[in-house]
Structure 1
Amino acid sequence: MENLEKQLICPICLEMFTKPVVILPCQHNLCRKCANDVFQASNPYLPTRSGSLTSGGRFRCPSCRHEVVLDRHGVYGLQRNLLVENIIDMFKQESSSSKPAPERKEETPMCDVHEDEKINIYCVTHGVPTCSMCKVFGAHKDCEVAPISSIYQTKKTELSDGIAMMVGNNDRMQGIISQLEEACRAIEENGRRQKTLVCEKFDHLYSILEDKKRQMSQKVTAEQEEKVNYIRGLTRKYGDHLEESCKIVELGIQTMEDFPINMLFAPYALRIAEASSTAHLDKVERGYEDMDHYSVNFKKERKALRTIDFDEEDEDAEGGTEEGEGVQTVSGGAAVTATSSQPSAPQQISSSPSAAKSAAST
């Protein structure tokens, strides 16, 4: 029994474990009160409620120095060691049965004024117990008194009712605490879900902007390639005409040097006149190479993006609006407002080869 008692000693208070007994992750045991004291000493700045920690923290086991990490329930989140508690009960029963029961003596309180008189009545006027002599000859002779047994039963009933009320209040408080903890978990889960929905809406908005950017870039690229191809084709025509003119000039010079008389029979002047004329070739008018008509002004769109905020009304939005729609509503009350229409480009002047040809001067 002595060896068993040594195993049931708490390393903190050096007394036998007092229930409830908690078991640490390192398998060592502590009284929950002692564990709470160690926890408070290791975490002095954590908030407490009625002297007990309610938020997570950590401390080291006093037996093996193993670090114990607790959740938001603090020490009350540790598991009770019911086996050790049962062993303690069995040990106490065995110890009490092996020792002779002491004789219980009921001591009756005596009056302070009349030392030989027992206290057997209760002064209702002053609210104190007293003896019969005090009622007959003493300070309570004009007071209202009652039998002490009836007052005892009344006080006992009041105390029992008060304890029952406190127990009920504690149960209600525990229920409220459980509801508040559940509300916290629900808020966290709803917050994560709403943030995911907001991110999805913004990702969809990004994809719309990326598609619009690609479409507008393709439009600029298409006109750029059209104009570049037209200019290169026109450059080849002018090059061919220049090459033909050079050949005619060279042939004319050779004719004048070798066969002057042939100039009277060959229409060289007409051929030179035709070669000198560029009326049949297109000419590019001034500003044809400009691409300024594709300028974009996003002033309205920037203003709309800066006004994006959560909607006060609870409206569910369908996923993904078509191009040109102005409002997207995020589930849970977030509204995204943006105008997807773009400013119209200025009228294009001679932006195609056919227009350039029609505007060419002769």
Structure 2
Amino acid sequence: MNLAPGFRPPPPGGAGGVAMENLEKQLICPVCLEMFSKPVVILPCQHNLCRKCASDVFQAASPVWQTRGSSGGTAGGGRFRCPSCRHEVILDRHGVFGLQRNLLVENIIDIYRQQESSRPASAKQQQLMCEEHEDERINIYCLSCETPSCSMCKVFGRHRGCEVAPLSSVYVRQKTELSDAIALLVAANDHVQAAVSQLEETCLTIQVNSQTQRERLSVNFDELVGVLEERKQQLVGGISREQDERLKQARSLLQRHRQHLEGTAALLEEAIHTMEEPHRALLIMRAESILEKMAAMARSSNVERLELGYESLSHFVIDTDDLADILKNIDFCGGEDEDEDDEAERDEDL
């Protein structure tokens, strides 16, 4: 809306004061009949209340305003009727504190109070006067020039050939459009607030569910590691038992061979000493005994050996390639289960 060159900006008051008064009427709480006190809550029926007033209504000892639990105490949730339209409002366990705040109305209240604090006390009594006709007040609106004017400007002045309308009617129309725009903005803001609340709850749920799934996954892998560790101990124990058995047999055979060598060495030493005997009779007597012992030793000297490859433990081998591939390819199976369920449902439909 353009201002004509001869139009003086309106002093505080006049139509602006009327607009502020009408705006104030839209900011009155239906319970306390005072301007909303923050925080302001919005009901599902789109009516607003001071949260304090809503709390007072909710806590009033009347079956109309609240429900009671089976034990006679006040339940966490409840219900009451909107003071403006009597629409029944269902509250969750948070009571009135679970209602959404109307931040847009709170911002409008702040702006209104700032405007009111800057207006002089006599603003409501001041009139808009025409700059060209100082004794004429602004009472018409030039639709052609889109500017306020006075009757003299229409009859004799620059707006003589223009289309005009009463300022009051234009004021009402503009006020209605502004009010409608505020209502639309408030409604849009309500939807945005609802979306914000839903998204915040969704984010929190995602975090909780993610933590739960991480814990479940850790438990699953801990169980898998436990199974592998248990099987590992079983297999390691099998190797240890096989080692003990083979070492026992090999060491037993080794002990027999060492004892044979020791007996042979003692017999050889005895034979050598006998050969050094200077008396022929004594040598002959000792030689016969030694020869018998040597013959017996020779007969028992068959060397027993372990079979070829007895020391090898190569049969204790496991093929982990396939298992390693399975572990590397471990993935979540929820999607596959859903696909199988969908296929089963389609088969049933057919």
What is the TM-score with the length of structure 2 in the denominator?
0.51
- State the alpha-carbon separation in 2 of the partners of residues 108 and 257 from structure 1: 167
SS at match of 1:173: helix
SS at match of 2:125: coil
Tell me the amino acid that sits aligned with residue 260 of structure 1: I
Aligned length: 217
Which residue of 139, 159, 172 maps to 1:120? Answer: 139
- State the alpha-carbon separation in 2 of the partners of residues 211 and 236 from structure 1: 37
2:312 matched residue in structure 1: 290
| Match runs of 1:47-66 below 5 Å | none
| Match runs of 1:1-362 below 5 Å | 106-242=125-261, 245=264, 258=282, 260=284, 268-269=291-292, 272-278=294-300, 282-295=304-317, 298-310=320-332, 313=335, 315=337
- Inter-CA distance 262–161: structure 2 relative to 1 (3 Å threshold): closer
Tell me the amino acid that sits aligned with residue 256 of structure 2: K
2:19 matched residue in structure 1: none
Runs of 5+ consecutive residues of structure 1 not aligned to the other structure:
1-18, 22-101, 317-362
- State the alpha-carbon separation in 2 of the partners of residues 191 and 211 from structure 1: 30
The farther-off stretch of 156-165 and 242-251 is: 242-251
- State the alpha-carbon separation in 1 of the partners of residues 139 and 337 from structure 2: 76
Please report how far the alpha carbon of residue 286 of structure 1 lies from its aligned counterpart in structure 2 after TM superposition. 4.0
Deviation sequence 1:147-168 (CA, Å, 0-9, x none)? 2222221111111111122222
2:12 matched residue in structure 1: none
Tell me the amino acid that sits aligned with residue 304 of structure 2: D
The answer (yes or no) to whether the contact 1:237–1:281 under 8 Å persists in 2 is no
Tell me the amino acid that sits aligned with residue 236 of structure 1: Q
Higher relative contact order (CA 8 A, sep 6+): 2
Deviation sequence 1:252-301 (CA, Å, 0-9, x none)? 7769963726977x7955x5334213476631234322334435564444
The answer (yes or no) to whether the contact 2:267–2:290 under 8 Å persists in 1 is no
- State the alpha-carbon separation in 2 of the partners of residues 118 and 150 from structure 1: 16
Deviation sequence 1:41-91 (CA, Å, 0-9, x none)? xxxxxxxxxxxxxxxxxxxxxxxxxxxxxxxxxxxxxxxxxxxxxxxxxxx
The answer (yes or no) to whether the contact 2:140–2:164 under 8 Å persists in 1 is yes
The answer (yes or no) to whether the contact 2:239–2:316 under 8 Å persists in 1 is yes
- State the alpha-carbon separation in 1 of the partners of residues 241 and 322 from structure 2: 27
- State the alpha-carbon separation in 2 of the partners of residues 186 and 228 from structure 1: 62
Runs of 5+ consecutive residues of structure 2 not aligned to the other structure:
1-36, 40-120, 339-350
Tell me the amino acid that sits aligned with residue 109 of structure 1: L
